[in-house]
Chains A and B, each alone.
Chain A
Amino acid sequence: MTDQIDHEGELRSEFAALRSQEEAFAPGFERVRSGAPRRRPAPRSWLVPSVALASAAVVAAVWLAVRKPAVTPWGEGSAVDVAAWRSPTDALIRGTDVGWLDTVPSLRSGPAWTTAPSPADSVNRGTN
């Protein structure tokens, strides 16, 4: 027990000596209170935007490289091809001997809109 107390007393005196030595090297109160932190570097305002910009550029480059071109029904056409294109069903609305019907024909307006006789008509005519 006495040994333990001696040891504690010894430790206390050694810690006290250490404390008095270290206190002599402590920075002043005012310096610590008002002073800027010493080691921490000033925030690098350029660093974060630069990294963000570089990342965005990389993402954009990867996206452009990976993305598939849009596929059109006529393949890789140009503007000229598009202008020359005609619908394949245009022929269905064109009469055999008449041009485009610009006006709506009346039922009794004569032969202007008469269609060509069908093969069935000539067969009927021959028999009569």
Chain B
Amino acid sequence: MQPHQFEAELSRIHAQSFAWAVRCCRGDRTEAEDVLHLTYAKVLDGRARFEERSSFKTWLFGVIRRTAFEEIRRGMMHRLWMGKWWQEREDVHQGTADQATLVVEGERRDQLRQALGQLSPRQQQVLHLVFYQDMTIQEAATVLKMQIGTARTHYERGKARLRQLLDREGDQA
């Protein structure tokens, strides 16, 4: 692929990439934006190489996941080193305000978002990739660098738990 093709492809699946970055950053949209910026820089300057062993989207999602992990780890080290927890608290309030703008309509969608938040991180990621990103379980396993059997287990358990949570929410409503 040529550099201009990379850019066109990144632009085409940008919204989906952002949604995946948000999921990798545990719902923090600001952090997700940073992660996506760093990912695009890696892809466009050649630090991350696409070797066409999977689809571009599958490969890109793996890079996003890895970048998010690095950023989260770096952020934790930074906070530990400089005792920046107090500043983080301010940012969390800001993030909450950002997220509040998302809560617009559709009570059921909010329920889905909340129910997803109660699953384990792995289950959330597998379900996101399969249902939200329309990937196969095999592709999800490739993105998450896990065995397909493990991905399938997360998928089945996550789906069952999600159904349970949504049914409970539905009964209460």
Contacts and interface: CB of A to CB of B under 8 A. Distances in A.
B14 A26 contact: yes
A36 B18 CA distance: 16
Contact of A26 (B15, B105, B109): B15
Interface stretch (A12-20, A66-74, A81-89, A105-113): A12-20
Interface string B24-60: 0000001101101110100010000000000000000
A33 B39 CA distance: 9
A32 B40 contact: yes
| Chain B: interface size category | 35 or more
A22 B108 contact: no
A39 B30 contact: yes
Contacts of A41: 87
B34 A26 contact: no
Given A25-B102, A37-B34, A18 B11 contact: no
B47 to A, nearest CB: 15
Interface residues of A, number: 26
Contacts of A7: 159, 163
Nearest to A21: B109
B162 A11 contact: yes
| Chain B interface main SS type | helix
A38 B18 CA distance: 15
Given A15-B132, A21-B109, A38 B102 contact: no
A22 B11 CA distance: 16
Interface in A1-60: 7-8, 11-12, 14-15, 17-19, 21-23, 25-27, 29, 32-33, 35-41, 47
Contacts of A15: 112, 131-132
Contact of A11 (B10, B34, B159): B159
Contact of B37 (A8, A14, A21, A37): A37
Contacts of B109: 14, 17-18, 21
14 contacts: A7-B159, A14-B109, A18-B109, A18-B112, A22-B15, A22-B102, A32-B36, A33-B40, A35-B33, A37-B33, A39-B31, A39-B34, A40-B34, A47-B82
Given A21-B106, A32-B18, 6 more contacts: A11-B131, A14-B112, A27-B33, A32-B33, A38-B33, A40-B34
